[in-house]
Structure 1
Amino acid sequence: MIDISEKLEELGWIPRPKLLALRRLGIEIVEDLLTHFPRRHEDRTEFPKFPHEESDVPICLCGEVIKTSLRRFGGWKKIFEATLQESHANALSEPLVCRWFNLHYVQKMIATGQRLVVFGKPRLRGKRICMDHPEFEVIENDAEISIHFRRITPIYPATEGLSQRTLRSIIYRLLNELSDGPIKALAPAGLVHGERGDAIRAFHFPENWKARDAAREHLVLSEFFAMQMLIGSRRTESSIRLGGSHCGAGALLEKFLAGLPFELTGAQTKVIAEIRRDLAASHAMNRLLQGDVGSGKTVVAIAAILLAIEAGYQATFMAPTQILAEQHYDVLRRWLEPLGVHMALRTAARQEESFLPLMVADENPNVLIGTHALLYDTVSFSNLGLVVIDEQHKFGVAQRARLTAREPAPDVLVMTATPIPRTLTMTVYGDLDVSIIDEMPRNRGKIVTAVRDESKLGEVLSFLRKQLEAGRQLYVIYPLIDESEKLDVKAAAAEYELWRERLRPYPCELIHGRVPPEEKQKIMERFRGGDSSALISTTVIEVGVDI
């Protein structure tokens, strides 16, 4: 009998090439394979008649190959066609043409007289019903036909060198030879019905659709319960990590707020109170600050920084691009230098410090602002108490961990205007506390978003020239630096000269991620100073750049 912790290579009956293919899927032990669940099931107990019309819904059909052909076009391009006829065909039956483009291996697998199961969307091509690039499986009349045919059949995520038939046969044999001992449950008996081992068997090879659905419900509930337990455990570990209070009395913060030329919104005041409470707690803060562009996230971050440095701790402010890091540095210098805060900028291309230390004897900056350069060993922190990460979705998990996984643990504040699905998942499942700035500042300018077809380009250019004549500036944003053969989109470098001609005599400049850092800085300074009127750019300037 087979144990679920046994390595697949120790079984002795799985060929080595198949073991290597399974390893590519991350499958090395029996349990890995048993929990490699089907992505869908096909009802092969009976098949519908071949369609006479096209459909947007994929269907599963079975038929005999009555004809194959290979057509060439455009030199090296090929189309392989297999014409299928349904079982018990009559005079009104329509054949089904399956087509594959430039897939040379398919023609070696399909021959006249074979029985095929195909899955795809039928399309009307002239007078023929066709399926382009359908999934297919050759049905062989052998001892294993009952595993693959005349039943509800599992279809698995597969890989090169591992066909559906082979993978299905291996899993079927594993389930038959598995030891009789129960498989460890992931959820309490009161939450799910039946044994986990029975659910695994029923989901791989269900006797009917009702059994499949019941097995899926068992497995989904068990997985979510286990996930919740794991996240709860991680949250508990995070709360007991060696941390400390990183919150000062608030004198610096009050002085900063009093000097602002505007009043905070109610949402900003509420969020600062939430962060202040976290900073004062003995456990480490892990909070997401979400707010629309222009809602005032930076002011809230500065409030947190001032509370931390007043308590005697160092703070760091990490941004995803050099442009944004330099902007934050300039903004913080303008607001915090009058308060005597010592700041430093660290990017791959620029290192700079302001020399107004909070205390005369303090040689270390109170605030370190930078990009990924802050993650490396050349940057040392003397007493890190707060980590602020702007546009946090631009950083990898491991990158953020290099700053945050310190002992004692610093407080962490991550900011974004557009939380990605992983971030949303972290908030739903408890890894992050959330603060939302849901109120925009008063007297904020109105943002108008409009879409124009390319045929309206003349009207768009006329509008842009009028705006430039009025002394305004513009961005022209492209998704790529250079043109791509794979993507049908325009690129900044290729379109730059065209925009120079369109907007002449107004000066334009090109900026993207491959522009040298020193030149990038000069371009942005010229644009901020009004020496250039338009920036032709990629999304390198998309994240919170303030002009």
Structure 2
Amino acid sequence: MAKSRTTHSVLLGPGDMVTKWPGIGETRALELENLGVKTFEDLLGLWPHRHEDRSVITPLWMVQDGESVTVQGIIQSAHYDPVKKILRVQIQEGHASLTAIFFHASWLKRQFEPGYKAIFSGKAERRGHQLSMAHPDFQVMTEDREPLLGLVPIYPLSGSLKQVFMQRLMRDIVPRFAPQLSDPLPRPIQEQEGLISRPEAILHQHFPPNALALEASRKRLVFDEFLRIALAVLLMHQVDPHVPGMVQKPDGPLVQRFLASLPFSLTEGQKKAWDEIQHDLRQPTPMARLLQGDVGSGKTVIAILTMLAAVDAGHQAAFMAPTELLAEQQWLVLQNFLRPLGLSVALLTGKDRHADTYREALKTGSILLVVGTQALIGDRVEFKRLGVVVVDEQHRFGVKQRARLSLKGEYPDMLVMTATPIPRTLALTVYGDLQVSEVRGLPPGRKPVETIHLSHKDRRIAYQRVMAAVKRGEQAYVVCPLVGGDDEETQAKAAVDLAEGMKKIPGWRIGLLHGKMHSKDKTRIMEQFRQGDIDVLVATTIVEVGVDVPNATMMVIEEADRFGLAQLHQLRGRVGRGPKPATCFLIADPKTDQARERLEAMVRFHEGLKLAEEDLRLRGPGEILGMRQHGLTGFQLAHPLKDLDLLQRARGVAREIVRSDPQLVQPEHQALRTWVLDAMDDGIPSQVLH
């Protein structure tokens, strides 16, 4: 470490801001913040995305053309050509030499002082006796700096940050601050699981002495990621054993009348899921169940049965959807289903002009069934006796939001649903102690949607097929591309432009739906489409879930390579909901291998669970699970499929810890409690940890 830094940073600790470190000014601080780094502890957790093996230095005379190597030599010269904007740095080793070439990097010249040793890593190019390397990673050896060799970390970058700066910064920071961190995991658990200490794991994740040390480091840090999330979720799902839950009536008269009113019989998958839920509803302990079912598998019917069981028992039931449009759609669906029973359903959203009236009616108990958005968990909403909570599209809500809604009643039964299935063990870890039910299979007569990938030059084929379907009396969706990112305004503009272009072609009636429209207009357009007054609905991704129009048989997704697999599968699920064959066209010229693989998976697979596993395989856990919505920091090193064994072990340890110490108040768990609470973006509702 440079002497000048020691005097300035002797009193710094891991929690201090990185701006206190020499060399980190306002610009670099903002660029580091873009990487999620504000404090030195944040910096310690900025893991390298890979390590390059620079343990072997190849003599210059042995370097072959096209070889990726690490070489060294004495700097002979550093010349910048202002016309061509090229910096050439020549090093020499014995009789051999190499020229490193840097484009638009005049500022680098002062770092290459002749006479010092330099180490370059990169791909070499040999033309005759001339050896060169374009934009190599480099290190210049000075009196106070040792070379960084062996397994060298390669860090994510932002803005003008350079790899050499990040490596030097980390080499100064990590050995200094990592040993100052406490280890939240009790030593007996470390020994039981064969784990190294967390400070050692952090140090070796950045600068491993060898491959074995890197693997041991990763094992500990992956275990920590799984354990932290599992503990946080388990804490939030705790129920006070002294407060009994509500017993519902799953065989009550409303439930029986609803089943008799259905124009179809429940599928075997629906029957199995309903049997499991009925068992839970009869128990005095609150139900906490996750209902996974593929798009169109009939989860809504199971949700209605669950809500009616509460009403039959004299309780209220609430259905929470992630957006206003989806809440409105589910409200319409529930109204259609329940009208024959003489039951009304209220709709409560943040913009509803009847909100005050509905809130009063919920408080007095005159409203028994309500559908709403997150407005349902607002401070002003009170229920007289909330018995059942159904949460739709689970991946869009966090455990904190579910916890807050459950606190609206005396531990109501909770059913959370998702059409974005994930592997069972991962579901149990992320969603806590929810029991898992699956609605397998599709209703009788429903067939998988044929999926076809077309390039832009062949997209007319898709629209010709749509026109033919319209002439047969069928309907279609056209989903506009993601333009400029997942931004509502740019998506809306793309949808408007697409719809205007299609309206110029006679033969079909075009409707438009996007997130910037007024709620009334969105509801009106959807109702017109449902009634068959619109042939083709041009829309943004707000039609991703919840929209049910059995006569829609065609789906065209423009720029399909910009969407994730889960979203593509949800969009495809909007068609094929009736007895007629359905087709989904994916219009795209994929620019990356991963994008091409996603489209190939969509064409090959129709089952949501298989596609979810493909998604995990292709792009890792990332935001597939909506970890940010959970209020939890997501997975960084862990991969739920590749690290399944560690996932299971960490979840087992978490369950044992919470079983022995439900509030983590024992002395040996104090550090663990603080560590888990720090994982939350804005903490756990205070009523949950009391």
Q: Where on the TM-score scale, by shorter chain, does this alignment land: which range?
A: 0.7 to 0.9
Q: Which amino acid aligns with 2:516?
A: R
* CA contact 1:477–1:539 (8 Å) conserved in 2: yes
**Distance in 2 separating the partners of 1:10 and 1:328:** 48
**Distance in 2 separating the partners of 1:36 and 1:482:** 27
Q: Which one of 540, 549, 554 corresponds to residue 538 of structure 1?
A: 540
2:478 aligned residue: 476
> How far 1:297 sits from its partner (Å)?
0.6
2:595 aligned residue: none
2:148 aligned residue: 149
2:405 aligned residue: 403
**Which stretch of the first structure deviates more once superposed, 185-194 or 507-516?**
185-194
> How far 1:428 sits from its partner (Å)?
4.0
Three-state SS of the structure 2 residue aligned to 1:187 is helix
1:492 aligned residue: 495
Three-state SS of the structure 1 residue aligned to 2:546 is coil
Q: Which one of 85, 89, 93 corresponds to residue 88 of structure 1?
A: 93
**Distance in 2 separating the partners of 1:324 and 1:181:** 44
**Bigger Cα Rg:** 1
* 1:274 to 2:284 alignment: no
**Distance in 1 separating the partners of 2:184 and 2:462:** 69
> How far 1:170 sits from its partner (Å)?
3.1
Q: Which one of 57, 60, 66 corresponds to residue 47 of structure 1?
A: 57
Length-normalised TM-score, structure 2: 0.62
Q: 1:261 to 1:17 in 2, by over 3 A?
A: same
* CA contact 2:495–2:538 (8 Å) conserved in 1: yes
> How far 1:489 sits from its partner (Å)?
13
**Distance in 2 separating the partners of 1:389 and 1:329:** 13
* 1:301 to 2:311 alignment: no
**Distance in 2 separating the partners of 1:220 and 1:274:** 34
Q: Which amino acid aligns with 1:46?
A: V
**Distance in 2 separating the partners of 1:155 and 1:481:** 31
Q: 1:479 to 1:348 in 2, by over 3 A?
A: farther
* CA contact 1:241–1:284 (8 Å) conserved in 2: no
Q: 1:121 to 1:499 in 2, by over 3 A?
A: farther
**Distance in 1 separating the partners of 2:262 and 2:462:** 38
* CA contact 2:512–2:537 (8 Å) conserved in 1: yes
> How far 1:10 sits from its partner (Å)?
8.7
* CA contact 1:38–1:157 (8 Å) conserved in 2: yes
**Distance in 1 separating the partners of 2:309 and 2:330:** 18
Q: 1:345 to 1:185 in 2, by over 3 A?
A: same
> How far 1:396 sits from its partner (Å)?
4.8
Q: 1:350 to 1:230 in 2, by over 3 A?
A: closer
Q: Which one of 417, 434, 442 corresponds to residue 440 of structure 1?
A: 442
**Distance in 2 separating the partners of 1:484 and 1:129:** 46
* CA contact 2:492–2:540 (8 Å) conserved in 1: no
Q: 1:17 to 1:69 in 2, by over 3 A?
A: closer
Over residues 245-282 of structure 1, what are the superposed CA-to-partner deviations in whole Å (9 max), with x where a residue is unaligned? 34215122122112211111111111011112222333
Three-state SS of the structure 2 residue aligned to 1:449 is strand
Matches within 5 A, 1:67-106: 67=78, 69=80, 81-83=86-88, 85=90, 88=93, 95-99=99-103
Matches within 5 A, 1:494-533: 494-501=497-504, 503-533=505-535
1:385 aligned residue: 387
Three-state SS of the structure 1 residue aligned to 2:93 is coil
Over residues 456-497 of structure 1, what are the superposed CA-to-partner deviations in whole Å (9 max), with x where a residue is unaligned? 233333322222222222111113478999x99992122222
Q: Which amino acid aligns with 2:396?
A: K
**Distance in 1 separating the partners of 2:209 and 2:454:** 55
* CA contact 2:190–2:196 (8 Å) conserved in 1: no
Q: Which amino acid aligns with 1:149?
A: L
* CA contact 1:387–1:412 (8 Å) conserved in 2: yes
Q: 1:372 to 1:65 in 2, by over 3 A?
A: farther
* CA contact 1:52–1:94 (8 Å) conserved in 2: no
> How far 1:441 sits from its partner (Å)?
1.2
> How far 1:315 sits from its partner (Å)?
0.9
**Distance in 2 separating the partners of 1:225 and 1:509:** 46
Higher relative CO (Cα under 8 Å, sequence separation at least 6) belongs to 2
**Which stretch of the first structure deviates more once superposed, 258-267 or 425-434?**
425-434
* CA contact 1:244–1:282 (8 Å) conserved in 2: yes
**Which stretch of the first structure deviates more once superposed, 533-542 or 178-187?**
178-187
**Which stretch of the first structure deviates more once superposed, 154-163 or 523-532?**
154-163
* 1:164 to 2:164 alignment: no
* 1:320 to 2:314 alignment: no
**Distance in 1 separating the partners of 2:296 and 2:270:** 12
Q: 1:133 to 1:239 in 2, by over 3 A?
A: farther
1:417 aligned residue: 419
Three-state SS of the structure 2 residue aligned to 1:324 is helix
Three-state SS of the structure 1 residue aligned to 2:290 is strand
1:341 aligned residue: 343
Give the aligned length.
514
Q: Which amino acid aligns with 2:502?
A: W
**Distance in 1 separating the partners of 2:47 and 2:484:** 41
> How far 1:404 sits from its partner (Å)?
3.0
* CA contact 1:53–1:122 (8 Å) conserved in 2: yes
Length-normalised TM-score, structure 1: 0.76
Three-state SS of the structure 1 residue aligned to 2:238 is helix
Q: Which amino acid aligns with 1:465?
A: M
Q: 1:115 to 1:68 in 2, by over 3 A?
A: farther
Q: 1:165 to 1:295 in 2, by over 3 A?
A: same
Q: CA RMSD in A?
A: 4.7
Q: 1:81 to 1:217 in 2, by over 3 A?
A: farther
Q: Which runs of 5+ in 1 are unaligned?
A: 73-78, 354-361
> How far 1:408 sits from its partner (Å)?
2.3
Q: Which amino acid aligns with 1:333?
A: Q
**Which stretch of the first structure deviates more once superposed, 340-349 or 257-266?**
340-349
Q: Which amino acid aligns with 2:174?
A: I
Q: Which amino acid aligns with 2:148?
A: F
